[in-house]
Structure 1
Amino acid sequence: MGEPLRIGIVGLGTISAQYLQTLDKLGSVELVAAADLNPALATGVAEQRPGVRACTVEELLADENVDLVLNLTIPAAHADIALRAIAAGKAVYGEKPLALNVAEAIEVLNAATEAEVLVGCAPDTVLGTGIQTARKAIDDNLVGRPIAATATMVVPGHERWHPNPDFYYQPGGGPLLDMGPYYVTALTTLLGPVTSVIGVASRTRSIRTIGSGPRAGQSFPVDIDTHVTGVLTHASGVLSTVVMSFDAVGTRSSNIEIHGEVGTLAVPDPNHFEGDVQLRTLESKEWRTLPVSAGYLDASRGVGIADLAATPTGESPRAGAALAFHVLDIMESLLHATRTGQAEAIRSTVDRPAAVPLQAIG
């Protein structure tokens, strides 16, 4: 009791820097091991942090001093590393998505249930003050009964800035699977689970050209749809319209808007932990910024691990596997609906995650 959760990190790519900064300031967790296919990366992390051991993935998974495996591998390896960690009796927290597809994710959930270990998954941005202040406004009835929501992410394409953008335009990529987890997780946190989806999709170009880096000027094929529009029907009856695009220049729409009978909320970017929440009501034509009233203060990527560590026995973490699975199920079903032209029932459900009171991360 009271001892920190001992973390072993697998995968030390670009995103790991943000996680390491968070782990360094959390008192409730302790980094003890690091592994990567490139041993030099693990050695670099260990040299900068006393008490951290550089090792192979196999050594880390077998290490009895590791309580939780932080899985920051590429998406194609998420399920494999999670399953191996669970088989070793360790809890897991991973980057999004939980797995490449629902079938793989089911294996992870079943293994975790059988082994009685916790599994958490990004995005944990929904635990920050931006989404949680909006959540409190909804719970406090500031907009009345929610009726509808919009979620909009419009960019001209990652090839303009990413030096190796090909994978964004292959199966498993695209605007919905890339950025959708942030938006759909936020919508579920704010409005509860989804019961059905319908949607359409398109692609404007079959060839894209890299705009920066050593491959600038090279062209590559587009093998997926790059603009997805869907309608999510929540169990509460709320209708959320989602627009995810790699095809357009930009938008002046709020990232997320929640429309209720007596008010509308403008919700900040769910890819960030903070941001202004604005409210307009029937009684006022002016938008007003709500005071920060809920969520983890000064949160950053990895706060979901601290939240998992503080989860009471028998309860699901807020950024847990059940929520990540439901979000993956929604996105996979929506993409299927764009191909069939038919509404798709969502097979999974999840309890709306518990709200986060205003607090510092531990």
Structure 2
Amino acid sequence: MTTSNILLQCLLLMAVVSLTVTALPPIPDPLSKVPNIPNPWLTFKNFSGCHMGENRTGLASMKKYLNDFGYLPSPLSNSNFSDSFDSEFQDAILSYQRHLGLNTTGYLDDKTIETMVSPRCGVPDIINGTYTHGRHLYTYFQGNPKWPTSTRDLKYALIATSASTIDVATLSDVFARAFSRWAAVIPMNFTETTSTVDADITIGFYNGSHGDGEAFDGPLGTLAHAFSPTDGRFHLDASETWIASGDVTESSSDVAVDLESVAVHEIGHLLGLGHSTVEGAIMYPTLTVRTRKVELVQDDVSGVQNLYGSNPDFKGVAPAGVAGEMDSSGSGEIIRARMGLGVAVTFLVLTFLY
């Protein structure tokens, strides 16, 4: 075979290979489907498996997390948390696991890490070293604050909506449904008013620092906060992807938050309820993104009725998985707490897992 023939065959082979490669589908990028979602606690995944006696760089940030939610006392003045997994930190982990219904392993197992990296309601599960349980698994704020017996007709006003992309009429419908779910079980009425002077409860959307000492932190993280009785302030983070109409479970956004679900939870705080350890309860501290959770369960009902009594028309709570959505009219129907001057600031953050 001549040199020219060999060269020709090589050229033909290169052409075939080129055409074959061109025809193949592109190799998918394994990172292309990973959502670019902010989460201030994702670094906690680096501590999976960490246990007593270890020292991990950055563990101090998890100690700060447990301190924020009431499980770990602040370090001595002018000092910072250490990166050591000491006995005090182990006690805090055990307490956290018990309160969130996790296995009490005493170390940072995968389920505990998964729960801790989930955005959640920011109300401390333990306030000033204690929390008050009712007869079941619901809790109250320290001192059991509630609206007085003489106040059974509460008025609420939407006072700051310009930062929200949702029209006021739709917001009114959402909050009316959220309030009506609690009104269905206790002898209390909630009515929207346009007068801030007459309002017992005020609701608004804000960005970042907004004057109450508890700045919002952008998408996810802290979603909303409210004050315990009888302050009545209820603030929502305007930077969230709030879903107020349609099915949030079908949203194309990886950070979609169901507004009514958040509102029902926060109203529970406005009425004086703390967090429940019942995972299916409205007052459980976590809520998954793109999830709708608006039905009160027995633990929510027992807790609020213990404060205010029962609505005479209340017929009881249907078993989980039986009750459907309430009608659109509402008929039949996430905290950091600072106990200064009897007021507890409550925060709601969303649970996001991926």
Question: Do the two structures share a fold, i.e. TM-score over 0.5?
Answer: no
Higher fraction of strand: 1
Name which one, 1 or 2, has greater alpha-carbon Rg: 2
TM range (shorter): under 0.3
- Give the alignment's TM-score, normalised by structure 1: 0.27
Greater percentage in helix: 1
